[in-house]
Chain A
Amino acid sequence: MNDMRKVERDLKVNDAKITARNVDVRYGETHAIKDVSIDIPDRTVTSFIGPSGCGKSTFLRCLNRMNDTIDICRVTGKITIDGKDINERSVDPVQLRAQVGMVFQKPNPFPKSIYDNIAYGPRIHGLARSKTDMDEIVERALRRGAIWNEVKDRLHAPGTGLSGGQQQRLCIARAIATEPEVLLMDEPCSALDPIATAQVEELIDELRQDYSVVIVTHSMQQAARVSQKTAFFHLGDLVEFGETEKIFTNPSDPRTESYITGRIG
């Protein structure tokens, strides 16, 4: 993959997959996200960029209610996926997280076999009717995670024995094994070397065919390479959101310009 290649920009006009309105997040006294409203389109890669501590990961974690697990975290505002409010009482976070997969900063495979890593999600949700069905799900997920050829001969070897890049692709395969509609990635390449990064980026580009992908990244080059839409966060504010090309060539906010030219951050 040519590292500065601009992916095709012509977006089909999609309805927003995820809509956030006036979202505020507080950790105790700290106001981490301030009144953020954003429409994230379907079948698109949207990247969140911004300096450390700007709230981009926090906002990402609102989208599958991972912040619920933090006691002191309070989320207000309205977030909908396909028009359905995810913070409503009737929505079970378990159901939501099956629908909104997540990949984390550090590859975190379960200390189990490669097969069991993938099969775990489908198994707890009861997605497979039989052993052969499960085998199919696992193979499909590993193929879409672009790691099948590397692991097909050692499906029962521990997942923790793979290299960092392979582990991260295994985690992506694990996330898509439950057939989610949205895939959240929290700095998925920050622990990887350039070659592994390139492989993961290529994979992200392919996943765009089927999913709405939201990726948090520290690397502006990465945002430029993989995403069609970019949101710039600064100190808890959503400063600017638009076409990636516009953000990187002709930003409208002076803070965005300072950041992408390297003057803040």
Chain B
Amino acid sequence: MTDITNAPGPRSPHRTTELIAGTLKRRHAKEARLKWIGLGAIGIAFTMLFILIASLVSSGWQAFAQTHISVAVYIDPQEVPAENLPRGGFDDVLAAAMAQMLPDADTDDRATMRSLNGILSNGAQFSLRDQVVANPDLIGQTVTIKVPVSDPFDQLNKGLIDRDTIEQNRRVTDREIAWFDTLKDQGAISKPFNWALFTNADSRFPELAGLKGALVGSFWVLSICFIISFPLGIGSAIYLEEFAPKNKLSDFIEVNINNLAAVPSVVFGLLALAVFIGWFGMPRSAPIVGGLTLALMTMPTIIIATRAALKAVPPSIREAALGVGASKQQVVFHHVLPLAMPGILTGTIIGLAQALGETAPLLLIGMNAFITSAASSPFDSATALPTQIFIWADSPERGFVSRTSAAILVLLGFLMLMNAVAIYLRQKFQRKW
């Protein structure tokens, strides 16, 4: 029963209208200010992102092309005896072929011959040898091979070496520049897309170094990370959210999971070093250890995302299922979990993307080793994308500068791809209630 009869009447209505009108201008100004501050923040963020991408692209794009040279090589049976192949003097054969193309070079001078050979990548003799081993009939014939030039000439061709610097201060001599220009005039020089960046493993020679080892390593690391952290994370989240009694212990666990998500990654690396490598004797530099370490890091993220997704399923669906007689477990697995799946997958992918870019723990378990072949199992030594970037950034050769940027671009490309998948999943499976 209300007692409206005793209530006081309204205060003067005109006065109220005036008071409200007086505050309007201030409120609108505040609103406009907020809008501009927000726009400004977004603008700054975008500018930073643009500067980052632009600087990476400007220094990295050159690495996506590689200067090659086509050389017609006469495989001299005197230099390369068929019965003694693997030790054959392929560098001499190549030097002779180079001398053929450059008539002014003195073929009797060993120093000249060495610098002629220096135009070619160190890998040229090995790739030629591989061809001959595969097909010994080539001995005595002339084959045309297309091989990368060595790093200084690649830089020269890309215009990264200033021809006006005094001779002693640059990596190539005036004579070598003249040779290179002659070769270029002959049309022997080309600059195709650098597939080797994706098909070669790491190398000391920038023109041969590629990301295959790192890509394969990252693949193993992420696979193991996913296989371990996804089921464990979802399992823990379902238990904590749906089944665990709400008491001091579950509060304690919840707080600690949140803390775990905030622990610096280098600490996980130390833990992995002590436990996985120290106690369990797992191999150093192996993706299995990297995967386990990153799984520890990713799990809290997955647990938190899964719990949030489970919480977001409307209680009416649980009630509906309970109402027709579903057991608790049936409610969770038939209704709640499928509805929470898009949220869980989004969280998982974001967690994995974070793991993909993680460097510090991998450094501690030795995944920054110099490894020239791609891992064929998670137990082989390997590097990962971020540690490969770390190694290249540390290398003095000029060719590695642009390769570092290129590797960063590849890493960013994968991260964007993963985030795009996360957004796509969220859009696709989003439900309206």
Contact = CB atoms under 8 A, between A and B. Distances in A.
A121 B316 contact: no
B397 to A, nearest CB: 58
B316 A97 contact: no
A105 to B, nearest CB: 9
Given A71-B246, A97-B322, A263 B1 contact: yes
A108 B317 contact: yes
Interface in A232-265: 258, 263-264
> Considering residues A95, A102, A160, A264, which has the most beta carbons from chain B within 10 angstroms of its beta carbon?
A102
B324 A66 contact: no
B322 A66 contact: yes
B273 interface: no
Contact of B1 (A104, A121, A264): A264
Interface string B384-403: 00000000000000000000
Nearest to A97: B325
B325 A125 contact: yes
Given A97-B325, A98-B325, A108 B1 contact: no
Contacts of B431: 111
Contacts of B257: none
A101 B245 CA distance: 27
Contact of A171 (B245, B314, B318, B320): B320
B338 to A, nearest CB: 9
Contacts of A160: 432-433
A178 interface: yes
A228 interface: no
> Considering residues B314, B323, B326, B334, which has the most beta carbons from chain A within 10 angstroms of its beta carbon?
B323
Nearest to B431: A111
A66 B315 CA distance: 13
> Considering residues A108, A121, A160, which has the most beta carbons from chain B within 10 angstroms of its beta carbon?
A108
B321 interface: yes
Contacts of A98: 324-325
A125 B324 CA distance: 9
Interface in B401-433: 431-433
A171 B319 CA distance: 12
A69 interface: yes
B320 A124 contact: no
B325 A178 contact: yes
A110 B317 contact: yes
A95 B324 CA distance: 10
Contacts of B334: 120, 124
A106 interface: yes
B256 interface: no
A106 B324 contact: no
> Considering residues B246, B334, B432, which has the most beta carbons from chain A within 10 angstroms of its beta carbon?
B334
A202 B95 CA distance: 99
Top 9 closest pairs, chain A to chain B, by CB? A121-B324, A98-B325, A108-B316, A102-B323, A97-B325, A108-B320, A94-B327, A94-B325, A111-B431
16 contacts: A64-B323, A96-B325, A102-B323, A103-B323, A108-B317, A109-B320, A110-B317, A110-B320, A110-B321, A111-B317, A120-B324, A121-B325, A124-B324, A124-B325, A124-B326, A264-B1
